[in-house]
Structures are given as structure tokens and as C-alpha cells.
Structure 1
Amino acid sequence: MLDADSLTWDPPAGRITGVVDGDVVRALGIPYARAVRFQRPEPMPPFDEPYPATTPAPVAPQVQATFVDQLLRPAEGLVVDEHCQRLSITAPADVQPGERLPVMVWIHGGSYVIGGGDVPIYDARELVSEQRVVFVSVTFRLGILGFLGDGERMPANLGLLDLVESLRWVRTNIAAFGGDPDLVTVFGQSAGGDAAAHLMISEGTAGLFRRAIIQSAPLGLSRGRARMNAAMVRAVGNLHPDTPLDDLLERQAIGTRAAAPYGLPGGMPYGTQYGHAPLPAERSLDEAWSAVAPDVDVLIGSGSDEAGMYVPLVPVLRTVARSRLVRPFLRWLLVRPLSDVIYGRDVRRFTARHRAAGGRATSYRLIRGVTTKPTGAVHMSDLPLLLGGRAAWAGSRFVPERDWPEVERRGRAFRAIWAEFARTGRVTAADDETLTFDRG
């Protein structure tokens, strides 16, 4: 339990020391697994000495994403480390002995090639302090180190296997931090939402979580990837455990180029691969998701104009979008149809299948962006309402500084909906100008 004087916890993983940060406490960068390059993760043995959980988790090796830098404030001071299997815990500072709070395990997005669990836009201070939940952010292997492989020379889905190990760690240890191991919700946005959906059908996850929140998951890109994956493996060539990291990232770029001719899936070339541990074969997907439906409550949805985030990044579209006369046509002829194919259509399919199999599923649609003037909800529009806070978002392309009071007003209600689902599996809030729900 938490010792108020020395701020230590004593879970089965071994003694851990953390930091007080105002109205929350944090245990940062805790190793939950270890792995040799290109090998499956193994659980971390218990710590022999108190582990100083005072430094944010490193990010997995990744290439610089120029388009992200155009949209967000650059995150500074990030440490890169292949041994990135770390998680961080944020809990209310006034957790009482014996208290058991809902646990929300966050999986970051980034197309499975960029990001990390402890980057500033995922800070959970407001979610934790307002809603009294225990928040766990997970960092895992990405790109060529985590989501390529052919299942023979190199295992596939290593990043997903990392996530499975993180959930096992949470199950065993989270009670020491005030969390309820029987009340765990896995949630994520974009690739993180895709990972949350696939963890539902991953081998070894039964009983590790009770609920899943799947935000803006590109499920429309997840099937029919086998030929593309094979082409990427051929293009990348033989990889060795001692290949210099810079060379590996150059190979990753080669793999990305090899995926380009394969249409929309080539827009997210690195990702989950069916038929390789821990996932079933592609032909068995519907059966697998139906089998787990009675055991996992689901909240799933996307924004009205997800693909609109990418318009400013394409020069010709950016130019066209400046015209007030042309902008509505661009929205209805390109943005909305593409948003539905990649994100929206599979929300409806997932919800219908889950309910038909006896599960409880609520779908939502984010219908407004995070600005004072009503705008369509582009990709990532939900994040400023949920995580990060003013320092991370205000003044970015998503939230003009002048609009932050509006985000604060709507964000409190948004966070309450997410936390209530984590507590009860139900959505009780009335529809408003931000969200619409199909509760079934």
C-alpha cells in the first residue's frame, strides 16, 4: 500500500518508489517485461531492491513524424530505448488503504510506428483527480521491432505480445496502487484503439480486463494485409539481432515504401498480423470476437470527419480547402466517405456482431471538434477532451489558445462518460453537442 511518508508501494513485483505530483501520485517507467531484440517478451522478475519509478518511460525507437510536428507542439526531452517495455501509473493522492478504484489502461496511438505512453498529450491528471480512477499508460515496441515479422525468421506481433504482458503485470500488481484488478478497462485511440480491439481476441488475455473503449480505430485497414506484409518482409530483407538501430529504421522506411502499392492498408503498413501469435487466423476473426463478447463490455466509436486531419498535410488539398466554396464539397466527396471506410463502417459492424453474440456494446459518434466554432470532429479531436491538459494542447493546430475554456467545459463531461463506463459498463450521459450514442 501507499506509505504517505516515503511514497512506496509493495506489490508482488517488488518495492516501488514514486512521486507526489499535487493531487495525484505517480509511479513512472516501471519495467513490466524484458525482451531480446526480435524475441517474445518475458515477465520481469521481482525487484531485489526498491525500484525508483520517478522517470517517464522511454519511447520505442521511431522515425521523426513531420506531419505530427506540424499538428502538435514537439515533445522535448524524450529518451529512446529499445528496452521500452514500461508502464506508468497515475492514481489519486488520497487513495485509502483497501480502496479499489476502476483501472483504465491506456494504449497510445501513432500507426504502430510513433508515440509513447508518457508523452505529454496523454497526461491523465484531470481524468484521475476528477473521476477517481487509476490510470496506467503502456509503452511497447513499434514499427519494424514490434509489428513486422514473418512468424518464421522473426516473430510477428511482438508489440501486441508486449501489451499482453503489461496486462498480466497490471492484474498481479495494481491492487497495491489502489486499483481493482477485477475492474480493468483497456482503452486507446487510433492504433491504440485497434490494439485494444485485438487484445480482446489475443491468446492469454481472458480475464485480464472487463471492458474495452475503442476510439477511432482504423479497423477498416486491418484485414487483407497478408500480401502486403509478405512484400514488406521481402523488401526489408534479413534482419539480425546485432543490426545497428539506424540501419533498422532505414529498413523500416523501405518496408513502408513496399507497402505503398497496396492501397489504403499501405497507409498504416505496420500493424497486427492474423494467424501469428497471439491472434487467430483472419478467417476466424468474427468467431473469435463473438466468443469473447459476453465477457467484455465495449464502447466504440469515431469522429464525423476523421480523415479531415490529413487534409492540411497534402499540399493540393490544403490549397483547395482554403476556398469556402469548395470546402463543403471536399468534406462530402472525400473526407466523410474516407472516414467511414477507415473508421466508421467497422464501428457499426463491430457493435452489431458484439450484441448479436450476447455482449453489451455502446457505439458513439463524435460530432464536433475541440474549437469554439462548431467544426467536424477530425482524427484526434477526442484526445484534448480526455487527456493532456492545457499545456499539451492549447495553441496547437487542434485547439487555438482562445478556445481552451470551451475544451475545459466539454472535457469534464467527456471524462465523466469514459470513467462511468469503466466503473459500470454503461453510458448514462445524455446526448449533447459533442457526442451521440447508440446504446442498443
Structure 2
Amino acid sequence: MRHAELNDHDTSNDHDVPRFTTPAGEIIGWRDRGVIRASGIRYARTQRFCPPVDEPSSTTPILATEWSPCSPQNIIPELNAALGISAQAFSSCEGELHLSVTLPENPSATPRPVMVWIHGGSYVFGAGDLSVFDVRPLALEQDVIVVAVTYRLGLLGFLGGYANRPANLGLLDMISALRWVNTNIAAMGGDPANVTLFGQSAGGDAAAHLMIAEGTEGLFQRAIIQSAPLGISRGRAKMNAKMSQKAAEVKDDAPLEELLRVQTQVAESARGFGLKAAMPFGTQYGHYPLPIEAEADAAWRRAAAKIDLFMGYTAEESALFLVMSPGLTRLRNTPLVGEALCKAMVAVTTRQVYIRDAHKFARRHTQAGGHAYLYRLDWCKGRYPFGAAHTIDLPLLLGEPSSWQHADLVKGVDEATLLEHGQRMRALWADFARTGQLPATGHIEPQVLEWWKVS
């Protein structure tokens, strides 16, 4: 992980060091090129396979000057290459959960809108403070406060309901983080009554399910759901049951290395369940804090009037997985027919997993009295080999152009284009976060993004 660049002197005696007196305790942050960071704040503690315990108020200053560690996970080399992340970035910690707060350095006369970032990664990968997920440009350009949350993953966070191990622990982690935001963000200049969740991929799926989770009412008012694989979020009980049989073999106190090795075997046991097996770990209906699957639609309808919604997808979502799969890459290189077959496959799976259910979700939301907007991201569409693939929104929202210099995803895109299009997209996201309203239709040209209000 990255480290804060602090002076060598004792920060406790430095009057220029930012300090926040919050219900959590006195938080000591650091300055970073126009923003204030309060990074690596512990918001909860955990015991393995147990719900999180909210961090109590601290009687001593909280030194928030280190990046949040990752949750334990297996490295995915293909995804690291696509996003330009080194294996050394994944310094992990078990037993503690962290978040980081970034806000503009200049004072504000009124409380700022708050945006809470939930990273994606199929519920098995990622962390809130990876350099490619840096929220500094968003906070600085748009005068908002951004909170990046790290939560438990994989076998530790998103499989349960067996051997007295609860399900949805990673979701409970996020709720604990939202409670921390609700309690403490006003003391850092934020508006706890104007909180927007935004998450991509599994992070978008999590944001959708937090809308109907027990204990979240009043903790956020808006949700931006990016490329959520809602088409494979239902009908997972049989797959989860088979995965649980394998997961039960690992003991509660097994070494972490063994647990992560078994996690790979658990994921492999999901094969045979079609597209759902592409994201074997995930939220589980009928386990706290989620309703049973048959009542989920009704729960989303009840939540609609309380939460403004902006959701969408990229034009060629599943192209990412085509590039990451050696077998599909070989198919793509088949003379005469390979490229056409792969394009057809991308179109079909993008619709089945992402587009169809995003439209259903947004229509249900408006029919139940909520405000909803849909978007389609076309940026890089048709560009070999990724095109407008899953995760192509991330370089436009997060990180600096330099953060993405090693990413295969945007190789060949010049920094000026990335910066210009990114600034316009960050402005759109923040405009929605401020009021929950956008023009009824609009677009970012040339061929970047189009959005429309759902009626």
C-alpha cells in the first residue's frame, strides 16, 4: 500500500497538522496537494466468521496517516495487469476494518456532500485505498468529502449460513462503516443527511443490497450503482450450499494461508452453475441483514421513495473477462470467425448479466415512487482489446492519470484525454450526489457517456 508523506517531526506539536474532534476521538490527519486526508481509521474490529464490532471512542488521539490495509485475499494477476496494480500493493490485515476520509483543504461555509466509495472485485479482490482508486481528484475538483471503505472479502466476508458461520459479513462491515460516517462526518465538515453510496461491480451490487438491508435507514440518501452484475444475484442458494460443503472443511482457527487456499477450492466448487459461477461469492438472501429472496422486490419498492438512484453499465462489460481468459483469447484469434464470435458473446453476456437487470431495477424504482436515472458508458468502445469493458469507468472517476500508467485497460490513451473526460464524469457524479437530480437527458461527448431519466 502507499504511505502518507509526513514530515519527520512530532506531528502532535505541529499546529499545521489537521485535527478533527469527533465522537470517535481526536483524529490527526495529513495534507496532500490541496486535500486533507484522514486515512486508515479503524471503524470496527472482527473475529473470524463473526459480525463486526463497531470501534469504540478513543481516549487517545487517532493517528490517521497510514493507508488502510487490504482485507486478506488471493492475488489475481490478470486483474492486476488490467488495472496496473502490483502485487506489493496488497498489504493485508485480519481482525481490523478501516476507512479513509478525503476532503478539500479549503474551508467551506456549509457542510459538504459525502460520497462513500465501495470498491468492486467480485467480492474477493480490492481495497478502498489502492492507488488506482484514489479519491483525491473527485474530492478536490468537486468540493465533496469522499470516504473509501475496506471490508471483508471471499470466504471471510461473503459466504455463510453453514457451520454456525453467519452470511453477509462483508455487508455488515459496510453498515458499520456507514454508522461511523453518520456519527463522525459532521465533525469533519460533512453533511450526514447528504450521503451518496457509489460502488462499481460487486461494490455496485453491495450498494443495491444496502438499500434493503436492515439497519441502513437514514444512513444514506442516494446510490450510484456502476456495472452491478444484478443478472447473477438471484437463484444462488444451491450454488452457495455446494460451496458451503467445501468451506466447512476449514477450521475457524486455520492459518490464513490455508483459508485462502481453501477459498480457491470453494470457488471452483461453484462450477456448473452457469454465469453465476463467474462471481461465486456474494450477498445471500434470507440471512441477516437481507430479506428472503421472494421479498426482495417488495423491499426495494419500499426503499424507492427514500433513495435517489443513478445506475448504469458499460457498452461492452464482459469484454474484460474475455481478455482475461486464455481460452477466449485463443477463440478471438481464430481466423475469419473468432472476432465475430467474441463480439456476439460479449453482447449477449453483457445484456444478461448487466443491462437487462439494470433497466428492471430502475423501472421498479420509479414505479414505486423514486427518482432514477440510467447511463451507458461508451468510452473506448470498439478499441482493441478491451473496448468499453467492465471497469473502464474507474480511470475516469478515480486516481490520477499517473495512477493508471501501468494499466493495460487504458494503454495508449493519452493523459490529456483521460484527464479531460475524467473531470467531466466526476462532475456528473458529484452533481447527482449534491441534489439527487440531473437533467432529464444528457451526454458527455465525444462518445463518452449518455444518461436519461427513467419514467
State the TM bucket, normalised to the shorter chain. Answer: over 0.9
Structure-2 separation of matches of 1:35 and 1:298:
31
Farther off after superposition, 183-192 or 399-408? 399-408
Aligned to 2:164: 153
**Runs of 5+ in structure 2 lacking a partner?**
1-13
Is contact 1:372-1:403 (8 Å) kept? Answer: no
AA aligned to 2:450 is T
1:183 is paired with a residue whose SS is: strand
Aligned to 1:437: 451
Aligned to 1:90: 102
Q: How does 1:84-123 map to 2 (within 5 A)?
A: 84-96=96-108, 99-123=110-134
1:27 is paired with a residue whose SS is: strand
Map Cα deviations across residues 193-247 of structure 1 (whole Å, 9 max, x no partner).
0000000000000000000000000111110000010101111224433211111
Picking from 19, 25, 32, the partner of 1:14 is: 25
Closer, same or farther: CA 47–229 of 1 in aligned 2, 3 Å? same
Structure-1 separation of matches of 2:453 and 2:413:
34
Shift of 1:323: 6.7
Aligned to 1:399: 410
Is contact 1:228-1:262 (8 Å) kept? Answer: yes
1:384 equivalent to 2:395? Answer: yes
1:87 is paired with a residue whose SS is: strand
Closer, same or farther: CA 199–154 of 1 in aligned 2, 3 Å? same
Closer, same or farther: CA 270–416 of 1 in aligned 2, 3 Å? same
1:64 equivalent to 2:75? Answer: yes
Map Cα deviations across residues 224-276 of structure 1 (whole Å, 9 max, x no partner).
00001010111122443321111111111121111111111111111100000
Closer, same or farther: CA 133–371 of 1 in aligned 2, 3 Å? farther
Q: How does 1:74-85 map to 2 (within 5 A)?
A: 74-75=85-86, 76-85=88-97
Shift of 1:138: 0.2
Structure-2 separation of matches of 1:247 and 1:423:
45
Runs of 4+ in 1 over 6 A off after TM superposition: 370-375
AA aligned to 2:78 is F
AA aligned to 1:438 is W
Picking from 205, 226, 233, the partner of 1:222 is: 233
- Of all paired residues, the percent bearing the same amino acid is 46
Farther off after superposition, 252-261 or 144-153? 144-153
1:203 is paired with a residue whose SS is: coil
Closer, same or farther: CA 6–290 of 1 in aligned 2, 3 Å? same
Closer, same or farther: CA 49–382 of 1 in aligned 2, 3 Å? same
Closer, same or farther: CA 257–102 of 1 in aligned 2, 3 Å? same
Closer, same or farther: CA 67–372 of 1 in aligned 2, 3 Å? closer
Farther off after superposition, 40-49 or 232-241? 232-241
Shift of 1:400: 2.1
Q: How does 1:17-416 map to 2 (within 5 A)?
A: 17-75=28-86, 76-96=88-108, 99-150=110-161, 153-322=164-333, 326=337, 329-369=340-380, 376-416=387-427
Is contact 2:40-2:67 (8 Å) kept? Answer: yes
Closer, same or farther: CA 151–180 of 1 in aligned 2, 3 Å? farther
Farther off after superposition, 363-372 or 11-20? 363-372
Closer, same or farther: CA 372–267 of 1 in aligned 2, 3 Å? closer
Closer, same or farther: CA 63–105 of 1 in aligned 2, 3 Å? same
Structure-2 separation of matches of 1:299 and 1:374:
28
Map Cα deviations across residues 17-76 of structure 1 (whole Å, 9 max, x no partner).
011001011000101111211111111110110011000011011011121123132333
AA aligned to 1:435 is L
Closer, same or farther: CA 163–49 of 1 in aligned 2, 3 Å? same
**Runs of 5+ in structure 1 lacking a partner?**
none
Structure-1 separation of matches of 2:218 and 2:85:
38
AA aligned to 2:266 is G
Closer, same or farther: CA 408–322 of 1 in aligned 2, 3 Å? farther
Farther off after superposition, 380-389 or 236-245? 236-245
What is the aligned length?
Answer: 437
Shift of 1:4: 6.5
Is contact 1:394-1:401 (8 Å) kept? Answer: no
Shift of 1:6: 3.0
Shift of 1:173: 0.2
Aligned to 2:5: none
Closer, same or farther: CA 84–398 of 1 in aligned 2, 3 Å? farther
Shift of 1:319: 3.3
Structure-2 separation of matches of 1:363 and 1:117:
25
Farther off after superposition, 316-325 or 55-64? 316-325
Structure-2 separation of matches of 1:26 and 1:275:
38
Is contact 1:33-1:43 (8 Å) kept? Answer: yes
Closer, same or farther: CA 4–91 of 1 in aligned 2, 3 Å? farther
1:260 is paired with a residue whose SS is: coil
AA aligned to 1:86 is H
Aligned to 2:9: none
Map Cα deviations across residues 338-359 of structure 1 (whole Å, 9 max, x no partner).
0111111111000110000000
Is contact 2:30-2:38 (8 Å) kept? Answer: yes
Is contact 2:157-2:167 (8 Å) kept? Answer: yes
